[in-house]
Chains A and B, each alone.
Chain A
Amino acid sequence: MNDDQKSKGANKSLPLFYNDSFIVSFVIILLSSILLYFTFQFDIVPPILNRGIQPATFPKALLILIIFLTIITYLLSLKNSWKKQKKLPTSFYLTLSSFILFILISKFLDFFLGISILSIIVSFFWGEKRILYLLLVGIIFPLFVFIFFEVVLGLRFPAGIITNFYYS
């Protein structure tokens, strides 16, 4: 028995809620159902202005199609279970968290500070411990990008503690 078969077998023996196909299908159907609910809140166009179909009809049809296809995918997975995925490593969660940190810093402090901090965190947790290289990815490269976009493309970046200093 090869590794793939082993992992498939392992996935099949898992309880329902730990099964990838169940979780993924459940999430898709749940999100689609929420969006479907929202389509019922769309404004209705009076018949005289309505061209063809109501604005909500097309998204509704798409969401119903997604739900229908997801149910089929799940039923098919009962026969041929999905390959069991490996557990995600810590480096993934750290990278994902750095995205959230970037959003917070870019919103409340500074856009480029956000890029610098994310770059340093990602590089460091992916194994880069040399200060020079961390400075390269965290300060020198973002600075180069900033100047390039600012000078060559004439772009104005959002206000922030560092960008304000530059613009003033």
Chain B
Amino acid sequence: MENLSLIFAPLFSYKLLIVLFFGTIFGLILGVLPGLGPTTGGALILPFTMTLDPLSAIVLLTAIYCAGTYGGAITAILINTPGTPAAAATCLDGYPLAQKGEAGRALGMATVSSVIGGIASVIVLIFFAPLLANLAYEFGQPEYFALAIFGLTMLASIGEGSPIKNLIAGAFGILISTVGKDFMTSIDRFTFGVNELTEGIGFIPVVVGLFALSEMLTQSTLINQIFNRVALKAVKLPSLDDYKKTWKTILRSSGIGSFIGVLPAEGGTVASLIGYAEAKRWSKKPEEFGKGSIEGIAGAEAANNAATGGAMVPTLALGIPGSATTAVILTGLIIHGVRPGPDLFREQPEFLYGIFGSMLIANVLFFVLGFFGAKIFARITLVPNKILWPMIFAVSVCGTYSLNQSIIDVWIMLLFGVIGFFMRRYGFSVVPVIIGLILGELVEGTLRQSLVIFDGNWFMFLKRPIALTFFILSLIALSFPLIKKNKKNDKI
């Protein structure tokens, strides 16, 4: 009961409500604009959060996360271009349905299923995060090391990219985290005599570079691209018939999305693809998928929004990001002096339940704003890239500079922009780099401390049941893409 009052506390704080409102609007704008999205947006807004108190800052980031994930559906349905990677599966049926003159119906279903998925996942978060945090009390350094390894091996199954390329990108991310003074011995590593590098490479320059700047370079190759926008009169609430067709799909995808979200490193993109595939598998009319199936939209959208709450579970309970955007939120927590983990649940419950409550409210807010404002948000895509991207560049550069007031950070951001562009061009996802970077210090730190505990005996890891379980799960995570590939080949 006490926790329930903590959850709804943000409703009675006008400051948090204002932050939520602007966070939701900003999230929707970011979600609508192809190439941006909650991860880039969160990274860009992070320096601005320094003027806010920790709770308001994290509430702002989570509102952007929830609304941005939904916002991607608007562009996916109206211009056949996913505003965010998580909305890629929504294009498959959303755009064909919009072409049939039913854009309002498609957006209505996307909005309703996103809200249901989002709220279901917050409920999962409220019940599951404290349980996981309690379990984490049993974790020592070896267990955290094994958990971080599990998180990294999960990178192998991110999205549709090559598992090995994802692992290379993840290892690259960890390698970046080793730059600077070694935290245990103060020995310089990869600093090349540059003083500013002794503090290491910051998270924000890398994220802004890999996401925003690399996208700017990608957009420079697409300047002649023309979008065919489908006309939208108004968003329509789903009919009773549509609800009958989709309620099972929405519930199933909400479950799938929440579960996928909880897994370290996975996120909305994987959730929506699986949600969509399962919706098709269970559908009575699978032949309609790809031609404007309302179940397809519901399956993908409920799953990607359900992943938002799910991904917050390991982020808050263990300090292990559940997705790229939660890696940004995790950085926000650290910047504001909040250390995620079991102690947070014991010492600052009002902070945590404030986040949970804000996520619930953000879901309701984007329902209202999406329902009545989708037409206006869709118009944002009319801002030409030749105007939009130079502006994003200005904000990226100033935002990156502002955190440490370091020009080196700006150059690092530019360098990672170029690296990110070529990575994406040759099929390497940039998400594993971010996850690797944020887990890097944890992996190395816990490994070295474990070896001190074990007196250098590596086999002692196998004598710790929880650590052993995570290692076995890691092996499964690594072999899963191979099994999936073999299954695919069998079908062919």
Contacts and interface: CB of A to CB of B under 8 A. Distances in A.
Interface in B107-141: none
B282 interface: no
Nearest to B449: A52
Contacts of A49: 185
Interface stretch (B60-68, B170-178, B256-264): B170-178
A97 to B, nearest CB: 11
A52 B402 contact: no
B189 A59 contact: yes
A48 to B, nearest CB: 12
Contacts of A115: 393-394, 397-398
Interface in B155-207: 162, 164-165, 167-168, 171-172, 174-175, 178, 182, 184-185, 187-190
Contacts of B168: 28, 66, 69-70, 73
Contacts, number: 160
Contacts of A20: 426
B394 A119 contact: yes
A58 B390 CA distance: 40
B448 interface: yes
A142 to B, nearest CB: 5
A102 B414 contact: yes
Interface of B: 47-48, 50-51, 162, 164-165, 167-168, 171-172, 174-175, 178, 182, 184-185, 187-190, 216-217, 220-221, 223, 384-387, 389-391, 393-395, 397-398, 401-402, 405, 407, 410-411, 414, 417-418, 425-427, 444, 447-452, 456
A88 B384 CA distance: 21
Interface of A: 20, 24, 28, 35, 38-39, 42-43, 45, 49-53, 55-56, 58-59, 62-63, 65-66, 69-70, 72-73, 76, 82-83, 85, 88-89, 91-92, 94-96, 99, 102-103, 106-107, 111, 115, 118-120, 122-123, 126-128, 133, 136-138, 141-142, 145-146, 149, 152-153, 155-158
A58 B444 contact: yes
Contacts of A136: 387
A157 B410 CA distance: 12
B390 A149 contact: no
A109 B37 CA distance: 33
B190 A59 contact: yes
B394 A142 contact: yes
Contacts of A58: 178, 444, 447-448
Contact of A91 (B220, B414, B417): B220
Contact of B402 (A66, A94, A123, A149): A149
B394 A126 contact: no
Contact of A128 (B384, B402, B427, B444): B384
B165 A73 contact: yes
A73 B162 contact: yes
A95 B389 CA distance: 11
Given A73-B164, A155-B405, 15 more contacts: A45-B187, A55-B184, A62-B171, A62-B175, A66-B171, A92-B217, A96-B220, A99-B417, A115-B397, A123-B387, A126-B385, A127-B384, A127-B386, A142-B394, A149-B398
Given A63-B175, A106-B410, A118 B390 contact: yes
23 contacts: A52-B450, A52-B451, A52-B452, A58-B447, A59-B175, A62-B175, A62-B178, A66-B171, A76-B164, A88-B221, A92-B220, A94-B220, A107-B407, A111-B407, A115-B397, A118-B390, A120-B390, A122-B390, A128-B387, A141-B390, A145-B395, A145-B398, A156-B405
Contacts of A89: 220-221, 223
